[in-house]
Structure 1
Amino acid sequence: MTEPDPAERLEGAILGEQPLYDAAQVAEKAGVTLDQARRLWRALGFPEHGGATAYTDSDAAALATLVDAVESGLVDFDLAVTLTRAVGTTLARLADWEVSALSQRVDDLVAQAEEPLTRMDVSGRMLAELGPSFERLLIFSWRRHLAAATTRMLALGENEEDRNTVEVTVGFADIVAFTALSNELSRDRIGDLVEKFESRCADVVAGQRGRVIKSIGDSVLFVNDDPIAAYDTAEGIINVIGRDPRMPDVRVGLASGPTVMRLGDVFGPPVNMAARLTAVARRNRIIIDAETAALLPEDQFETRRLPARPVRGFGLVEPVAVRRH
């Protein structure tokens, strides 16, 4: 029998078991049709393996868990697929993020080892020692975020039409001239820059009780229920990014209004407006729309309408410059 390569051994160590079933067999064991198994497997973000023996007992148990949820009557199969896709998409990004963050530490430990070690050796030890703790942290974090999301949903009231539409201030922060900057820096330096940008922005947003909706390399999209807190978030991002001589300049746009929240993302005119306003903002400045200006108390903020200019998707718009008294 051919010995598995190191990557296969590491995968087996992470999973804690070896593949025993092909697609038809794992579907039968889980109690679903082959088509249902394929839909759920794709929703988790995993590639199909055809007739190859590539599925484990845990794979079958995971599919069976989803089937049990459908048979309970609380969700139908399409909703189960939607929830499964949310899990797969989120955890795929989490796994990539963790591996990327830990890879340099793996290299450092290999270099510092007194006896010859490979990256696979160190990776296996790291996963064995840190894995259980991170699993507990994952469940804890999910429960905390689920509690917060449920509370926000209940606060919207019982009107189904308004269940996913909320009045918020949307913020969009991006790095000035990121394309040119990325062409000048090495891959390691640009990676470190993006990581620092995202982490600093996330800290500021959390400190003002907002939520980061997504990060897109050179930009961060966030929301806050309170327009004053959204302004403080924007000002905080400029302070920790744009005013740090080791970091690039940044621009922030804020827009307010009804926003649809679905599938972990946000949609609607305020989202688009906030993104468009960053093109208007000067370096390390905040630009807001008229709706946000109307929500900021006049005794705390000074606003000034700028000359009207065409904004893609909105026609002529008068952006508003803002600062605290």
Structure 2
Amino acid sequence: MTEADDDSLARAILGEELAFNAAEVAAEAGVTIDETRRLWRALGFPEHGVERAFTRSDIDAVARLVGTVDAGLFDFDTAVNLTRAVGQTMARLADWEVGALVHRVEELEASEEATGTRVGSALRLIEDLMDPFEALLLYVWRRHLAAAVVRMETLGANEEDLHTTEVTVGFADIVGFTALSNEISRDKVGDLVELFESRCADVIATHRGRVIKSLGDSVLFVSPDAISAYDTAEGIINVVGRDARMPDVRLGLASGSVVMRLGDVFGPPVNLAARLTAVARRNRIIIDAATAALLPVDQFETRRLPARPVRGFGLVEPVAVRRN
């Protein structure tokens, strides 16, 4: 694809010409050049110096964001953090979307609807998808915002620190992923990871949990209580580990207080859940003592395993668990 093709696609997506440099954006938005560059970096883009790389919409976006700061809704540092959250989220979404649509562009060019070039098919696809997908983004954001507000309350956030809450953290890990990825093609590795992540996400959502992050061969999630976390872990084993076409998995669960910030979670339970997967056998669940104490004894059978050193935690007694 030529540079002209790239420009055509960019203009089609942005809907505007790149007519302003960073200094002009800053001047028209009423901010300093340093603040403009800080916001642009937070979105995840490199600086452009004196190059005309910005549109009128870029100016409007900066002005709106700074307007919320001037109105006292939050300070500039918070604005940068929110901008970084949006940038990181949208960057991954855009990569995911483009990866999915590449196949559709190739299909269009191989069909009777071919335009003669992939750029032509891409432009037509963008034109057809832009408005409905933008509406979908706004709808999904509102739904997740509502769910996040409710979740902050139901997870038991204390009044002194709304970021801190008690949860059970789960870590699902594909067994032998490195060796497996060396044995199969890159396309098959990608398909495997996508299937693993999607199946885990479906199970986690079904049991009222939330995916925090996917790391290719592993998924980190949180659940509102230990029983839901166990049901989630068992569900992941059922749809991944017990499928003959999929690799085996290991699950670690740990409970306690975590800090929820910028869409991520931090705290000892997060690290311990990840460490416990190294203890678990194939298609088995290993939990910590805190999680074991939260499971009703009339529903679950737990068995303490020999203490062993766990990096960052000293000697730990992992607990094997199963339903009665």
- TM superposition score category, shorter chain reference: over 0.9
Task: Report deviation, 1:119.
Answer: 1.7
Q: In structure 2, the residue corresponding to 1:222 is in which secondary structure?
A: strand
Find the counterpart in structure 2 of residue 60 from structure 1: 59
Return closer, same or farther for 1:60/1:277 CA change in 2, 3 Å cut-off.
Answer: same
Corresponding pairs, count = 322
Aligned amino acid, residue 319 of structure 2: V
C-alpha distance in structure 1 between counterparts of 2:186 and 2:121, whole Å: 24
Find the counterpart in structure 2 of residue 219 from structure 1: 218
- Over aligned residues, Cα RMSD in angstroms? 1.4
Find the counterpart in structure 2 of residue 310 from structure 1: 309
Task: Report deviation, 1:113.
Answer: 3.6
Equivalent positions of 1:174-323 (< 5 A) are: 174-323=173-322
Aligned amino acid, residue 254 of structure 2: A
Return closer, same or farther for 1:267/1:158 CA change in 2, 3 Å cut-off.
Answer: closer
Q: In structure 1, the residue corresponding to 2:320 is in which secondary structure?
A: strand
Find the counterpart in structure 2 of residue 159 from structure 1: 159
- The alignment status of 1:10 with 2:21, answered yes or no, reads no
Return closer, same or farther for 1:114/1:62 CA change in 2, 3 Å cut-off.
Answer: closer
Cα distance per residue 1:88-114 (max 9 Å; x no partner): 111111111111122122222222346
C-alpha distance in structure 1 between counterparts of 2:250 and 2:120, whole Å: 44
Cα distance per residue 1:159-209 (max 9 Å; x no partner): 22x321111000000100100111111111000000000000000000000
C-alpha distance in structure 2 between counterparts of 1:174 and 1:168, whole Å: 20
Task: Report deviation, 1:7.
Answer: 1.1
Deviates more, 1:291-300 or 1:108-117: 108-117
Q: In structure 2, the residue corresponding to 1:5 is in which secondary structure?
A: helix
Cα distance per residue 1:61-115 (max 9 Å; x no partner): 0100111111101111111111111111111111111111221222222223465
Task: Report deviation, 1:157.
Answer: 5.9
Find the counterpart in structure 2 of residue 148 from structure 1: 147
- The alignment status of 1:39 with 2:38, answered yes or no, reads yes
Deviates more, 1:112-121 or 1:70-79: 112-121
Find the counterpart in structure 2 of residue 19 from structure 1: 18
Q: In structure 2, the residue corresponding to 1:184 is in which secondary structure?
A: coil
Q: TM-score, normalised by structure 2?
A: 0.96
Cα distance per residue 1:21-62 (max 9 Å; x no partner): 111111111111111111111111112110011110001001
Task: Report deviation, 1:117.
Answer: 2.6
Cα distance per residue 1:247-303 (max 9 Å; x no partner): 111100000011111111001110011000000000011111111111111111111
Aligned amino acid, residue 267 of structure 1: F
C-alpha distance in structure 1 between counterparts of 2:113 and 2:88, whole Å: 40
Aligned amino acid, residue 55 of structure 2: T
Aligned amino acid, residue 297 of structure 1: P
Q: In structure 2, the residue corresponding to 1:297 is in which secondary structure?
A: coil
Return closer, same or farther for 1:190/1:33 CA change in 2, 3 Å cut-off.
Answer: same
Q: In structure 2, the residue corresponding to 1:47 is in which secondary structure?
A: coil
C-alpha distance in structure 2 between counterparts of 1:193 and 1:157, whole Å: 36
User: Where does structure 2 lack aligned partners over 5 or more consecutive residues?
Assistant: none
Find the counterpart in structure 2 of residue 75 from structure 1: 74
Q: TM-score, normalised by structure 1?
A: 0.96
Answer whether contact 2:114 2:121 (CA < 8 A) is retained: no
C-alpha distance in structure 2 between counterparts of 1:288 and 1:86, whole Å: 31
Answer whether contact 2:29 2:60 (CA < 8 A) is retained: yes
